Chains A and B, each alone.
Chain A
């Protein structure tokens, strides 16, 4: 697990609406999938690509390179910049002014996330359940992982209130999986 910097709540400068729109250009397609496969065959190319991703996302989102990006479900505020790295919403320590419990001069990143999601009419996104992350993926390129389809089960596609949210992405039957 590679984690060089302390997570500090970060508020992106681009609006959530713009970023939701920009996201379309990142969506997996045959070309991206080919690129991802190509990158994973070469250590040098992969590292260079991951560095590039990091430099863009660190500046814009306080990205920690968790390798399993939650941004599309959090109004594009990075939950890994939360000192507790909570993926499902804020803790109970937010001050009445919206300040982070750990860094009182920073805004809680989840206050930012909810506000941004609301501003883009995407509050339902933050109500989906985020599954526990895979800590082996720190330092990997989340874009490559996304294009390779590894992010498909990071979060549920519903709020789990009308039907059960299953922790295991594929329903495991009672007899399998031992």
Chain B
């Protein structure tokens, strides 16, 4: 069953797909989030709205997704297992569908230890594979985890994440296989800075035939300044940036750092595009959304056809009112 998702339609076409990521504000003013997604309208197929990313309190991904719809941008609502038990997760899946949010990304989530409330109780009632499994069962079999029938199933395009280069290397493609088996239809990966390593993972993915069953969107992003580089190298769990990449960025004068970051990102996208089975890229710019259109243009990616015309999304957001 189709979810009414433009992202789903895009990955079914041959076009190279682009998603991006926007983090909601730490506060109740939606202006910054709305402005950020507006910058991306027409350039990307969908925008992820993160869910209290890094375990730091923000406006919710559901509210953020509704705000994105109001700007004519299709959201991917992230739902992490860190803060919700299976009751809340299933409720949120129903709510997302009812609000016209067509895509969800079901993830484990960073441990509270890394956030602004390290004393919080981590939930982790179910894991990311189980979340996908429950979501697919709700959609395709109209059943809750309890087995009870739903009055009407949530139409959702289901996504997950993977970290291709993290240990255990021999298992990462198999883990993606578990997500496919559980119901994942698209996957966004951790940042790829080590293309050779990503290629090895993709070879495993193809060997398992997974690339024909799930759209692989490789994670990329321009590093904007030396502080961001240092942060990404030391503070982000599961992210590893090879020395060669760090050296290349550090060699340039600080005033040219941002440009070099974009150049590196563009080159990475072009290399990823050549890898069989890669359906697109997922761009993460952490608050620097304004550079994303430039990256897309310089990488030679054709933006989604409905460029700058968000009317159909606006209609969908009409569900809200």
Interface residues of A (CB under 8 A from B): 83-98, 101-102, 108, 110-111, 114-115, 118, 123, 126-127, 129-132, 135, 159-161, 165-168, 172, 174, 177-178
Q: With A88-B178, A114-B170, A177-B147 in contact, do A167 and B111 touch (Cβ < 8 Å)?
A: no
Name which of B159-167, B251-259, B281-289 contacts chain A: B159-167
Determine whether the beta carbon of A108 is less than 8 Å from that of B167.
yes
Residues from 85 to 133 in B contacting A, C-beta threshold 8 Å = 86, 108, 110-111, 113, 122, 124-130, 133
Determine whether the beta carbon of A177 is less than 8 Å from that of B143.
yes
Whether a CB of chain A sits under 8 angstroms from the CB of B240 is yes
List the B side residues contacting A123 at CB < 8 Å. 170-171, 174
- Distance A93 CA – B174 CA, assembled complex (angstroms): 17
Whether a CB of chain A sits under 8 angstroms from the CB of B148 is yes
Determine whether the beta carbon of B167 is less than 8 Å from that of A132.
no
Determine whether the beta carbon of B171 is less than 8 Å from that of A89.
yes
- Pairs across A and B, CB under 8 Å, 16 listed: A84-B111, A84-B122, A89-B171, A93-B166, A95-B166, A95-B167, A101-B237, A101-B238, A102-B111, A110-B171, A130-B127, A131-B133, A160-B178, A167-B134, A168-B147, A178-B148
Most central of A83, A92, A108, A161 by chain B CB within 10 Å? A92
Determine whether the beta carbon of A131 is less than 8 Å from that of B130.
yes
Whether a CB of chain A sits under 8 angstroms from the CB of B320 is no
Determine whether the beta carbon of B143 is less than 8 Å from that of A96.
no
Whether a CB of chain A sits under 8 angstroms from the CB of B321 is no
Q: With A84-B108, A132-B145, A165-B182 in contact, do A98 and B174 touch (Cβ < 8 Å)?
A: no
The residue on B at minimum CB distance from A158 is B181
Determine whether the beta carbon of A165 is less than 8 Å from that of B149.
no
Whether a CB of chain A sits under 8 angstroms from the CB of B154 is no
List the A side residues contacting B208 at CB < 8 Å. 161
- Distance A126 CA – B134 CA, assembled complex (angstroms): 19
- Distance A118 CA – B163 CA, assembled complex (angstroms): 20
Q: What DSSP secondary structure best describes chain A's contact surface?
A: loop
Q: With A129-B133, A129-B178, A130-B129 in contact, do A91 and B108 touch (Cβ < 8 Å)?
A: yes
List the B side residues contacting A92 at CB < 8 Å. 108, 161-163, 166, 190, 237-238
Determine whether the beta carbon of A86 is less than 8 Å from that of B237.
no
- Distance A102 CA – B115 CA, assembled complex (angstroms): 12
Q: With A102-B113, A108-B167, A160-B178 in contact, do A95 and B130 touch (Cβ < 8 Å)?
A: no
Which of B142, B162, B178 makes the CB contact (< 8 A) with A159? B178
Determine whether the beta carbon of B163 is less than 8 Å from that of A160.
no
What distance in Å separates the Cβ of B222 from its nearest Cβ neighbour in chain A? 21
The residue on A at minimum CB distance from B181 is A160
List the A side residues contacting B147 at CB < 8 Å. 168, 172, 177
Most central of A83, A95, A101, A131 by chain B CB within 10 Å? A101
List the A side residues contacting B170 at CB < 8 Å. 114, 118, 123
Q: Give a binary string over B181-213; 1 marks a CB under 8 Å from any A CB, 0 the rest.
A: 110000000100000000000000000110000
- Distance A23 CA – B4 CA, assembled complex (angstroms): 49
Determine whether the beta carbon of A94 is less than 8 Å from that of B177.
no
Determine whether the beta carbon of B129 is less than 8 Å from that of A89.
yes
Q: Give a binary string over B132-144; 1 marks a CB under 8 Å from any A CB, 0 the rest.
A: 0110110001110
Q: With A129-B182, A160-B178 in contact, do A167 and B171 touch (Cβ < 8 Å)?
A: no
Whether a CB of chain A sits under 8 angstroms from the CB of B220 is no
